[in-house]
Amino acid sequence: MVASEFPPPRAEAARLGNQLERSQAVFSKKLRQFAVARAVVFTGTVILVVVVLGRDLERFKLTYSIKFALWLLVFAHVSAVSQWWASRSGRGMQSIALLLLIVDQALFAGIVYLTGGLASGATSLLGVTCVMGGALLGIQGSIASVVAGITFFSLILLIVGGARDLLPPDQPASLYLLGPAQSVYYYVFTVFMLLLVGLLSGYLADRLARAGGEVVAARERAKRAERMAVLGRLAAGLAHEIRNPLSAISGAVQMLRVGAERQEDRELCDIVLRESARLDELVSDMLHLSRTKEKKLEKVDLTRIVSDVVQLANRSGRRAGDVDVRLEAPDTAWVVADEGQIRQLTWNLIRNAVQASTSGGEVRVRVTTDKTIQLVIEDDGVGIDAAAQKMMFDEFFTTRTHGTGLGLAVVKRIADEHGILLKVESERNEGAQFSADFGPQSSKD
């Protein structure tokens, strides 16, 4: 199949645009909530750190560690305000969220640096950022948080192990004294926990995202079912109101055509009859699409059904000799189905192929019984591009000027109810092939 040469219809483009706007609005709200949470967490953490670091002092002084912690708090609040502004503007929110996760790991690493280095209990805060990364950006956010956390924690290891002059001067040196075995233990354990928390957070975030998508799909199906119910009530109410006067109009025009003396009058009558037939076809398709009666399953001969429909197609619709419908089928092909609905499915597929064909064309209909029973209908028409194939079974979607957009929707509904597998193969200007797989053949008895 080739890619579409045309952009999607306006309605589909508008739908995708609305979905994008909704997802951006949801992410913007999450980013604002994250900004508030960051400000609260950092404020509480820094207050706790300041209280712990200043409790042994004779009187509270702005020591190196306390100043360092307060500067961390200022930087955290500035970044939170920037985050809030970015979420309101809606520009580059994904990139900003990724950058803020790295900033948070740097700030938490600063707190770890002040409170004992490798053995500090604040190392668990690095895992909090991994969880937030998964909640915001999925596996991408978790991985970024894990990599940033391991990087900054490794920097603390280097400072504690080989650059002790960079340690907080107002903190006791014994707080950072660890043997080689202890240093390796704390480092490996922290790295392992960051990897574990990050991977689990990313996995759970992706699962929740997929579950959310399934919920959205379920809501779409519910809306579609509701639309179908409305369409059914509308069709049932309008069918009799339209068909009765339509039959009277067609009958009157046929009588006028017989008595018409001028060729122009007969041509005008032909136009009225043709458009009346098209309106009747639309009403019939609406009724078939909205019909919800329980199907009557029985063993039926698919060959007989298809043969009857092919004969009907060669005698009706477009003028005789315009499009030839040919049938190739075995003597019998038994399937379990509702005969009336399968007849309707076959008629709609053949009618669609005839309408897609050019004058003098040919539609080939085959029934095969190799491994499964298949109904195959081929035409040499204009074909169907990739974009249209995605929507061809949707209600009211059509690529023809005078199409109703309901025929293939009826086919899809009948196929779904019978468990028939539909397949379409087509290329632009190379015709199309529709196949309906009924599954294994049933015995006659």
CATH number at residue 426: 3.30.565.10
At residue 398, the 3 state secondary structure works out as: coil
> 215 and 303, same structural domain?
no
Tell me the mean pLDDT in the region 243-270: 77
Is pLDDT larger for residue 22 or for residue 63?
63
- pLDDT tens digits for range 93-135: 778 888 888 888 898 888 888 888 888 888 888 888 888 888 8
Which of 6-15, 24-33, 77-86, 106-115 shows the lowest mean pLDDT across its residues? Answer: 6-15
The pLDDT > 90 percentage for the chain reads 6
- pLDDT tens digits for range 191-243: 999 899 888 888 888 787 777 667 767 777 777 777 767 766 666 666 667 76
User: Amino acid identity of 26?
Assistant: V
Tell me, yes or no, whether 176 lies in a domain.
yes
Tell me the mean pLDDT in the region 248-272: 78
pLDDT of residue 376: 92
Q: How many structural domains comprise the chain? A: 2
Tell me, yes or no, whether 153 lies in a domain.
yes
> 303 and 199, same structural domain?
no
The pLDDT > 70 percentage for the chain reads 79
At residue 426, the 3 state secondary structure works out as: strand
Tell me, yes or no, whether 229 lies in a domain.
no
pLDDT of residue 150: 92
From 165, 193, 222, give the residue that closes a domain: 222
At residue 64, the 3 state secondary structure works out as: helix
Start-to-end C-alpha separation, the chain:
41
In sequence order, what are the residues at sequence separation of 6 or more whose Cβ sits closer than 8 angstroms to the Cβ of residue 427? Answer: 1, 2, 383
Tell me the mean pLDDT in the region 283-311: 77
pLDDT of residue 151: 92
Q: Which two tokens stand for residue 59?
A: 């009187």
Give the best-scoring range by mean pLDDT among 206-220, 362-376, 420-434.
Answer: 362-376
> 319 and 171, same structural domain?
no
Tell me, yes or no, whether 410 lies in a domain.
yes
> 345 and 198, same structural domain?
no
Is pLDDT larger for residue 315 or for residue 350?
350
Confidence of residue 367 (pLDDT cuts 50, 70, 90): very high
pLDDT of residue 10: 43
DSSP H or E run through 210: helix 180-259
Tell me the mean pLDDT in the region 81-89: 78
Is pLDDT larger for residue 10 or for residue 376?
376
User: Whole domain around residue 106: which residue ranges?
Assistant: 13-222
pLDDT higher than 50, residue 378: yes
Please report the DSSP string for 94-159 in residue order.
Answer: HHHHHHHHHHHHHHHHHHHHHTTGGG-GGGHHHHHHHHHHHHHHTHHHHHHHHHHHHHHHHHHHHH
Q: Which two tokens stand for residue 331?
A: 């003597």
Is pLDDT larger for residue 290 or for residue 390?
390
> 194 and 45, same structural domain?
yes
pLDDT of residue 5: 33
pLDDT higher than 60, residue 359: yes
> 349 and 207, same structural domain?
no
From 222, 250, 269, give the residue that closes a domain: 222
Is pLDDT larger for residue 238 or for residue 303?
303
At residue 392, the 3 state secondary structure works out as: coil
pLDDT of residue 223: 78
pTM above 0.75, yes or no: no
What is the C-alpha R_g of the chain? 36
Please report the DSSP string for 31-45 in residue order.
Answer: HHHHHHHHHHHHHHH
Q: How many angstroms separate the Cα of 262 from the Cα of each of 231, 254, 368?
A: 43, 15, 51
Q: How many angstroms separate the Cα of 442 from the Cα of each of 73, 290, 331, 377?
A: 75, 29, 14, 22
pLDDT higher than 90, residue 43: no
pLDDT of residue 400: 62
Asked if 38 and 99 count as a contact pair (C-beta separation under 8 A), the reply is no
Tell me, yes or no, whether 231 lies in a domain.
no
Tell me the mean pLDDT in the region 264-278: 76
pLDDT of residue 316: 67
- Please identify which residue in the block is written with the tokens 């929740």: 208
Tell me, yes or no, whether 278 lies in a domain.
no
From 222, 254, 281, give the residue that closes a domain: 222
pLDDT of residue 114: 85
pLDDT higher than 50, residue 12: no
Tell me, yes or no, whether 228 lies in a domain.
no
CA dist., res. 169 & res. 10, Å (int): 67
In sequence order, what are the residues at sequence separation of 6 or more whose Cβ sits closer than 8 angstroms to the Cβ of residue 201? Answer: 130, 131, 133, 134, 135, 142
Average pLDDT, the chain: 78
At residue 297, what are phi and psi to the nearest 5 degrees?
-85, 130
pLDDT of residue 321: 53
pLDDT of residue 16: 43
Tell me the mean pLDDT in the region 149-174: 84
pLDDT higher than 80, residue 190: yes
In this structure, how many other beta carbons lie within 10 angstroms of the beta carbon of residue 168? 19
- pLDDT tens digits for range 59-81: 556 788 888 888 888 888 888 88
Q: Encode burial over 386-413: b for 16+ CB neighbours within 10 A, e otherwise.
A: ebbbebbbebebbbeeebbbbbbbbbbb
Inter-axis angle of helices 124-137 and 10-54, nearest 10: 170
Is pLDDT larger for residue 159 or for residue 27?
159
Inter-axis angle of helices 180-259 and 263-290, nearest 10: 140
pLDDT of residue 291: 59
> 318 and 415, same structural domain?
yes
> 320 and 210, same structural domain?
no
pLDDT of residue 304: 92
Tell me, yes or no, whether 431 lies in a domain.
yes
Is pLDDT larger for residue 443 or for residue 277?
277
